[in-house]
Every structure is written in C-alpha cells, then in structure tokens.
Amino acid sequence: MKKHNFSAGPSILPREAIEATAQAVLDFNNSGLSVMEVSHRGKDFDAVMQEARELVKELLSVPEGYSVLFLGGGASMQFCMVPYNLLEKKAAYLNTGTWASKAIKEARGFGEVVEVASSKDANFSYIPKNYTVPDDADYFHITTNNTIFGTELSEDPKVKPYLVADMSSDIFSRPVDISRYGLIYAGAQKNLSCAGVTLVIVRDDVLVKVPRYIPSMLSYKIHIENGSMYNTPPCLPVYTALQTMKWLKANGGVTGAQKRNKAKAEILYKEIERNKLFKGTAATEDRSLMNVCFVMNEEYQALEKDFLDFAQSRGMVGLKGHRSVGGFRASIYNAMPVESVQALIDTMKEFESKH
C-alpha cells in the first residue's frame, strides 16, 4: 500500500532527493566512500557546500550583501543566537504560536522585548493585525508559518526595523522579498532536508552593532568567515538539502511551488468546508498552505480516533494534530504531491459516507 506522509516534521522529501542521498551514503561522487565519512574540507564536499549556497541565492533571489550559512542546532538554537548577535537594546516580536513564544522567551535574556501583538487569546488561530512596531527596535521578529496552529503570513510585513523571520516550515514555498529581511532562519526538516541542519540567510551589515562578546559557535560572523565550516557541518543533511533544491529548481522554482501549494491547499480546505464531519481551526484569511489543521464537528467528536484509524488503513501517515489543538493536521509541504492530497480527500469522503 502506498503511504501518504502528512507528518509535520521530520516530513516528506522529494523521492529524487531521498534516492540521491541513499546513493551518496553508499558511494559519494564515485569516490568509493560514503558522504558520511568523507572530509568536510575535501574538494568534493566543498563543492556540495558551494553549490548549496548558490542554489539558495538563486531560488530565493538573494541580493548582494547577504551570506548563506548551514548550521547545526536547529531553529531552536536560533531563538538565542538571533538576539545574541542582533539585540542591542530592544527588539519587537509578533507572537503567533508555540515557536514564536519560545523565541520571545530566549530573547528576553538579552535585552528589552516588545511583544507587539499576540493571538494567544484564541489559541493562536489567527494572525494579529493592525499592530504597531516601534521604529527604534533593533529588529522585528516574525514566525511566517505556524505548524501547530495552521496559520501563515502570506506577505512580507512593511515596517521600519528590518525583519527577522523563522521560516522553518514554509521556506521555498513562495517568493520572498529578501531585501526586507536582516536575517532568515529555517530548520530544514520540514521543507528542505532531513533533520540536523539549519539554513540561515543574513545581511552582512546587520552584524556590526552589538558590542557584547559572542562565543565563537554562536557568532554569525565567525561562521561566515569560515564558510559554515568553523566546526564540522552536518554533511549529510546539507547534501540532502542540495538535492531537494535541485529538484525544486527543476520543477519551476519557488513560483512553481507556490502555484502547486495553493492548488493543493484549495482542494483540501474546500473538502473540509463541504464535509459534514469536519471543520477548520484557523481563521480563513490566515490559513496555512503548509499545515492544514482541522477537527471533528462537535456532534462527531467521538469519531476522532475512528477516523485516524480509518485514514491509517488507507495509507495516511502523520495526520494526528498537535496535542495543544487536537484533531488532525495535514502537512502538505513542497514535496507533497497533489495525488496524496486527493487520496486524503477521498478518504474523508469515504469516512463521511459511513457515518
């Protein structure tokens, strides 16, 4: 039976990227060695790192004056690394969910943090609007997609301070005006690679203000100066990221991905609205194209486990919603084919017909 992987992360990858990685694990670049055992400073892997950096710049149209890094530690490391490097006096944060809340907590250890708005009052089911960002903030931090609650910012905010964004779960899913951002970070295990590497895109001139001592492993400057090789990088996830970006480029780049993502989300949300058993949990205008969250309607809540079991019997994997929301979550990242989304829709219709 074909499996349809709706897991939120680690999550689905293009089959081409998986197969290329599997081959490189056995024999990297016809070297007779695995990509897991070659020197990260050798010419073969150096070429991987160089090509990966260049593809990030090409796919996202990164302007001059920005550096691309591949680091360890996950996006959670960036929650402290960002303010360590960038927060001199005051930073502004938009609180749209669990990960934004964690980023705020870490930043408060380095200076004043202004929480400009929060959607916690409604269990983060919407993106706050009409907030004011202090002009004198060192930066304004946003989480562009909220995997747990199924909300997403579809546009780059226009504010005076430069933007810092956690794009872990929607990186490469839509075009982004990089010039508005001082820094973007993304844990790879949702839309780019397997777990273990974090992509960072940073504008070089934002790294000159903060006077505090920054430990070498937490310094963007040090990592830039060393080409992401101050210490041994996570070689295998970087290689997989390269293969995923090659697949993305061959399939229309981020504009092609955006078109496919909109089409997939549209048919799934349409079925949730039509089906008598289900209802969405996110505000309609803020619904995510990456993580579609929904629950049983009140009168059918007793059927939640039955539906999960039924969906699993039809090959649906990873549909259970986060414990803070409940219900179901279909993560339909770039690599998710429309055929899998349609299979889920057919499963929902079949389950409805039985109840």
Active-site pick, 156, 166, 170, 286 = 166
Residue ranges per structural domain of the chain:
15-250, 253-353
Report angle CA 120, 126, 128 to the nearest 5 degrees.
Answer: 75
Distance, in Å, from the CA atom of 141 to the CA atom of 92, rounded to the nearest integer, reads: 6
Find the DSSP H helices in the chain: 15-26, 43-60, 74-86, 98-107, 220-225, 235-250, 253-274, 304-313, 338-353
pLDDT of residue 154: 87
Task: Write out the chain's pLDDT in tens, 355 residues.
Answer: 899 999 999 999 999 999 999 999 999 999 999 999 999 999 999 999 999 999 999 999 999 999 999 999 999 999 999 999 999 999 999 999 999 999 999 999 999 999 999 999 999 999 999 999 999 999 999 999 999 999 999 889 999 999 999 999 999 999 999 999 999 999 999 999 999 999 999 999 999 889 999 999 999 999 999 999 999 999 999 999 999 999 999 999 999 999 999 999 999 999 999 999 999 999 999 999 999 999 999 999 999 999 999 999 999 999 999 988 899 999 999 999 999 999 999 999 999 999 9
Distance, in Å, from the CA atom of 286 to the CA atom of 268, rounded to the nearest integer, reads: 15
pLDDT of residue 114: 98
Specify the CATH number of the domain 15-250: 3.40.640.10
Q: Which of 219, 190, 215, 214 is nearest to 202 (CA)?
A: 219
Q: What is the CA radius of gyration of the chain?
A: 21
Fold designation for 253-353: Aspartate Aminotransferase, domain 1 (3.90.1150)
CB-based burial label for 5 (10 Å; 0-12, 13-18, 19+):
middle
By residue count, the chain amounts to 355
pTM of the model: 0.97
Catalytic site includes residue 166: yes
Ramachandran region, residue 61 (left: φ > 0; alpha: ψ -120 to 50; beta: rest): left
Active-site pick, 138, 156, 170, 190 = 190
Catalytic site includes residue 99: yes
Catalytic site includes residue 247: no
